[in-house]
């Protein structure tokens, strides 16, 4: 739609009488309410009319969001700008801008009008998908993989637990165990299939075992949480996976669900209740922080590293867990923990959320630098030689980013791997 531009005319008069009253003032005083004729409200209404996207219309253009938007740092973005673009003719359902938001929620944190991109983006994306509008091909692939194979990587379901063979400790499958357990550990897709994710999963298994935790995994019955697919607009896919997962979780007796990934935490804790699943769910950092007293004596080997920790958006801002990961890192002997400028509530996004994990090629065409690269540079600038993470999306993202920004000297390790290193020595 072409923007309807008709510039408001300034009213510049020395003497003005309105309804018999002399309201003359300085010559450039504005005498009437500015008539907004150069904008079209239709495209804003089109978005705000969608269920869950209503708050899009709340924006009053204060631009607080732009200052904290991670995408704006490497491009030209932010909720305020999206509103303005819509005002001047951009149909968000058809624009590349629709796919750049990572739903990191930093804008929502500062927005005085509660414009909620975490709800708006999935709603508009869903609309675009339903209308058959442009959807990045890589993202479609991830959707199709999830629908067909139960994970976005497109790996075979029957190999979901193949990794346990090399974990070094026996990992019980709940179905084979045939008894209730304290902890049902939801491993997640990347820790089950991605080589670096498997490293973290294996480390977790060794830590749980060393702590004597009574745990089991779902093995071949485990399927992706699909929360990021939901945020990327595929609500139907999310619901399909949710129905399956809830049924699977409820098949077995367990006290607590421990997840490796923050996105899974978000799905099971914040979204599944709408689908009737309300049971205790914790991220592994929160869970292990409870065992600090038992854990500390096991951390025998010093890890003499200067470490900076990246707050995952879905662990921090979305779920309020900032301290447990830091406590775990500080428990490791030899570790010097340093903070990046943007940390905790203002942590910078890795670019993997909201489906960004599967849109790297697409995003690259619309930004000057990857978010993960920006963050890797920030990590390196602290002088740290390890960037510690707590989200399975991040190891592969940051490992690539430290290389592409010439910061190979910064190692990228999951907190699980660091704990495991300290437990077992190199």
- Contact residues for another protein (CB under 8 A)? 126, 129-130, 132, 135, 137-138, 140, 143-144, 147-149, 154-159, 195, 234-237, 239-240, 360-361, 364, 370, 373, 396, 399-401, 403-404, 406
> By C-beta, is 157 or 209 nearer to another protein?
157
CB of 400 to another protein, least distance (A): 5
CB of 235 to another protein, least distance (A): 7
DSSP 81-107: HHHHHHHTT--GGGSGGGGT-----HH
For residues 84 and 95, give the distance between their C-alpha atoms in angstroms, rounded to a whole number.
13
CB of 36 to another protein, least distance (A): 36
> By C-beta, is 391 or 423 nearer to another protein?
391
CB of 148 to another protein, least distance (A): 7
Element holding 309 (H helix, E strand): strand 306-309
> By C-beta, is 125 or 326 nearer to another protein?
125
For residues 55 and 291, give the distance between their C-alpha atoms in angstroms, rounded to a whole number.
42
148-169 b/e (C-beta count within 10 Å ≥ 16 → b) = ebbbbbebeeeebbebbeebee
Angle at which helices 394-404 and 371-381 pack, to 10 degrees?
A: 70
> By C-beta, is 37 or 140 nearer to another protein?
140
- What is the torsional sign of CA 373, 379, 384, 390? negative
> By C-beta, is 302 or 406 nearer to another protein?
406
CB of 248 to another protein, least distance (A): 18
> By C-beta, is 114 or 131 nearer to another protein?
131
In whole angstroms, how large is the CA radius of gyration of the chain?
Answer: 25
CB of 364 to another protein, least distance (A): 7
For residues 236 and 245, give the distance between their C-alpha atoms in angstroms, rounded to a whole number.
14
CB of 194 to another protein, least distance (A): 9
Q: Where are the beta strands (DSSP E) in 379-426?
A: 386-389, 411-414
Whose structure tokens read 């269920």?
51
CB of 237 to another protein, least distance (A): 4
Element holding 183 (H helix, E strand): strand 181-186
> By C-beta, is 223 or 235 nearer to another protein?
235
For residues 216 and 193, give the distance between their C-alpha atoms in angstroms, rounded to a whole number.
18
For residues 118 and 349, give the distance between their C-alpha atoms in angstroms, rounded to a whole number.
14
Dihedrals phi, psi of 64, to nearest 5 degrees: -60, -35
> By C-beta, is 143 or 208 nearer to another protein?
143
């Amino acid at each position: 739609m072409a923007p309807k531009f008709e510039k408001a005319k300034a009213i510049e008069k020395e003497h003005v009488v309105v309804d018999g009253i002399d309201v003359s003032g300085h010559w450039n005083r504005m005498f009437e309410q500015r008539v907004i004729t150069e904008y079209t409200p239709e495209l804003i209404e089109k978005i705000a009319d969608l269920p869950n996207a209503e708050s899009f219309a709340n924006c009053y253009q204060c631009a607080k969001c732009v200052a904290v938007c991670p995408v704006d740092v490497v491009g030209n973005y932010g909720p305020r700008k999206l509103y303005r673009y819509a005002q001047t003719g951009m149909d968000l359902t058809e624009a590349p801008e629709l796919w750049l938001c990572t739903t990191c929620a930093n804008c929502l944190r500062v927005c005085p009008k509660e414009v909620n991109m975490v709800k708006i983006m999935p709603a508009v994306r869903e609309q675009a998908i339903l209308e058959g509008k442009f959807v990045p091909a890589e993202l479609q692939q991830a959707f199709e993989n999830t629908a067909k194979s139960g994970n976005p990587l497109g790996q075979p379901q029957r190999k979901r637990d193949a990794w346990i063979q090399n974990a070094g400790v026996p990992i019980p499958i709940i179905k084979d165990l045939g008894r209730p357990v304290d902890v049902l550990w939801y491993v997640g897709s990347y820790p089950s299939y991605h080589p670096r994710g498997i490293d973290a999963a294996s480390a977790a298994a060794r830590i749980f075992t060393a702590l004597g935790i009574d745990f089991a995994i779902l093995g071949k019955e485990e399927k992706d949480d699909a929360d990021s697919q939901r945020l990327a607009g595929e609500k139907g896919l999310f619901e399909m996976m949710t129905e399956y997962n809830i049924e699977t979780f409820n098949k077995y007796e367990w006290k607590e669900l421990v997840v490796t990934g923050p996105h899974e935490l978000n799905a099971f804790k914040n979204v599944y209740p709408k689908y009737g699943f309300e049971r205790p769910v914790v991220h592994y950092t929160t869970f292990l922080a409870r065992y600090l007293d038992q854990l500390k004596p096991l951390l025998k080997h010093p890890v003499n590293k200067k470490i900076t920790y990246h707050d995952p958006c879905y662990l921090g801002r979305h779920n309020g867990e900032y301290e447990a990961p830091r406590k775990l890192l500080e428990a490791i002997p030899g570790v010097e923990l340093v903070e990046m400028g943007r940390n905790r509530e203002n942590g910078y996004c890795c670019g993997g959320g909201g489906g960004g994990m599967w849109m790297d090629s697409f995003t690259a065409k619309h930004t000057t630098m990857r978010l993960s690269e920006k963050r890797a540079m920030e990590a390196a600038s602290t002088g740290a030689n390890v960037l510690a993470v707590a989200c399975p999306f991040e190891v592969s993202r940051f490992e690539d980013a430290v290389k592409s920004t010439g910061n190979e000297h910064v190692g990228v390790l999951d907190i699980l791997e660091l704990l495991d290193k300290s437990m077992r020595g190199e």
